[in-house]
Amino acid sequence: MTKIKLIELVAQKAKIKKAAAERAINTFVGAIKDTLDKGNSFTVTGFGTFFASKRGARMGRNPKTGQQIQIPAIRTVRFRPSAKMKKRM
């Protein structure tokens, strides 16, 4: 599902205008981003938890040339589904 389709679905189900649904979704996504930027996790009960994770530096290989390269450490976003979501899947 794309963001546009999600906006349409929220607008239809909530019986609100698309502009209001878009603002709500953008606020929700913004709240997740802000929370993760601060290093905290974001939990949606019954759905799952978004959290920031650190991936350490490591050696890799350029697939084109085969040359070894250093891959730097990064922060990334991970998602852990709730028990209810796992059961539903």
The Cα–Cα gap between 31 and 58 comes to: 31
* E strands present in the chain: 42-44, 48-55, 58-61, 68-71, 74-81
- The domain limits of the chain are 3-88
Q: What is the pTM of this model?
A: 0.77
The CATH number of 3-88 is 4.10.520.10
pLDDT tens digits, the chain, 89 residues: what are they? 999 999 999 999 999 999 999 999 999 999 999 999 999 999 999 999 999 999 999 999 999 999 999 999 999 999 999 999 999 98
Which residue type sits at 60? G
First to last CA, the chain: 17
37 residue type, one letter: D
Predicted local distance difference test score (pLDDT) of residue 26: 97
